[in-house]
Structure 1
Amino acid sequence: MRQGFPMATRGMTVGLLGGSFDPAHDGHAHITREALRRFGLDQVWWLVSPGNPLKARPPAPMALRLAQARGVMRHPRVRITDLEAHLGTRHTAATLRKLKAIYPGVRFVWLMGADNLAGFHRWDRWETIMHMVPVGVLARPGSGLKARRSMAAQVYDRERASLGAANRLGRMAPPVWVMADVPLNGASSSAIRARGDWRYPGTSA
């Protein structure tokens, strides 16, 4: 295994939660714990992105975001990574392609909040992503109706699996997705940044 890459062996099911995590917060930790419980995952890897191509504002430095994420998410089956920086990728489809080549036999599941499903059709090669890995969607405050009416949900309506099959999601052939209603946590990175008094630990601005 490459240095700095998490360990995973053939047959494992790994959930991938990507994003800027600027900053990471308890809402991220909450949906991660729910994903572990509901989708039959052996691990979850947070992919702390070098930057979100859909956002004009650059994120805080990677080192700050990684440290914050590791302080927020403490779980023996969760790994906080900067894999996309190591892989040299900025788009999810490219990240998935490289991870599947590096980890043959590992079953990956892409995880997202319902707020991301609402705009999923704007992602680079979003339909390719749907055909590469199963997708687990978790409810987020105020996003349920938009997610269910989203282009992705409509285009792949027939590929939506029942909640009863959620714990086998990683073993199902894509395209397949599940949307799980979970207890809601209203934390959001944008709301935290909007607070004038919030700073990354150890910084003054």
Structure 2
Amino acid sequence: MIFRHHLPKARPGELIGLLGGSFDPAHHGHLHISREALKRFRLDRIWWLVSPGNPLKPEGPAALDRRLAAARAVARDPRITVTDVETRLGTRYTAATLEQLFRLYPQTRFIWLMGADNLAQFHRWDRWDWIMRHIPVGVIARPDGRLAARMSPAAARFRPARRREPAAEILALSAPPAWCLINVPMTDASSTAIRARGDWKR
């Protein structure tokens, strides 16, 4: 059973960005792209959806409670909410999570946020084309990821739905399919690099 008081709060008409991932661990790069997304896409808030695990990765992440605590320590912005909503909803794939959120928050406008590296392999996601057709997608440029994102199967299939960068500020109000790739000041922080240095133990 889902208890509404365990879920994030949203006011009617709010524009909320959804940034999903394992956050294993969260780092200042997540905070950086979130603040850029808030500004460039004119969002009211962003939810960090700390997932139980990534179906595309063979190795599981660190314990959820630990990742949530680390994410909350990093998300030093009152406009960012760190949540384990996918665990509470019992969903494993983004499309299923979105279906539940649309049902639970019918008066909220959501936009899906991802790094350009994720767009490059977006076609491997479960029901990825359904996602593109049901929610605006904001893509944030990452180091070495822009070309692969532009050449990706998802970008090719939905090329007519791409919005130019100056239109990013109205993306959340656009009827899907609609997506926009924005260039932002770069940061090379990554969860993979942090784990490789031994600064985060699973």
TM over 0.5: yes
3-state secondary structure, aligned to 2:5: coil
CA RMSD for the aligned pairs? 1.1
Aligned to 2:75: 73
- 1:76 positional shift: 1.1
- 1:163 positional shift: 1.5
- 1:199 positional shift: 3.2
TM-score, normalized by length of structure 1? 0.95
Matched, 1:92 2:122: no
Q: What CA distance in whole angstroms lies between the structure 1 residues aligned with 2:21 and 2:200? A: 19
Aligned residue among 28, 39, 42 for 2:41: 39
Aligned residue among 105, 108, 118 for 1:106: 108
Aligned to 2:29: 27
Could you tell me whether the CA contact under 8 Å between 2:136 and 2:171 is conserved in 1? yes
Q: Which runs of 5+ in 2 are unaligned?
A: none
- 1:79 positional shift: 0.1
Could you tell me whether the CA contact under 8 Å between 1:9 and 1:103 is conserved in 2? no
Could you tell me whether the CA contact under 8 Å between 2:22 and 2:52 is conserved in 1? yes
Report sequence identity in percent. Answer: 58
Q: Deviations over 1:148-200 (max 9, x none)?
A: 1001111111100111211111110000000000001101111111113x136
Q: What CA distance in whole angstroms lies between the structure 1 residues aligned with 2:44 and 2:142? A: 23
Could you tell me whether the CA contact under 8 Å between 1:13 and 1:43 is conserved in 2? yes
Aligned to 1:139: 141
Q: What CA distance in whole angstroms lies between the structure 1 residues aligned with 2:162 and 2:146? A: 15
Aligned to 1:57: 59
- 1:36 positional shift: 0.1
TM-score, normalized by length of structure 2? 0.97
Q: What CA distance in whole angstroms lies between the structure 1 residues aligned with 2:153 and 2:173? A: 25
Q: Deviations over 1:31-79 (max 9, x none)?
A: 1000000001111000000000000101100111001101111111110
Aligned to 2:200: 199
Q: What CA distance in whole angstroms lies between the structure 2 residues aligned with 1:138 and 1:102? A: 27
Q: Aligned letter for 2:138?
A: G
Tell me the matched-pair count.
Answer: 200
Q: Aligned letter for 1:199?
A: W
Q: What CA distance in whole angstroms lies between the structure 2 residues aligned with 1:131 and 1:156? A: 9
Q: What CA distance in whole angstroms lies between the structure 2 residues aligned with 1:12 and 1:168? A: 13
- 1:10 positional shift: 1.8
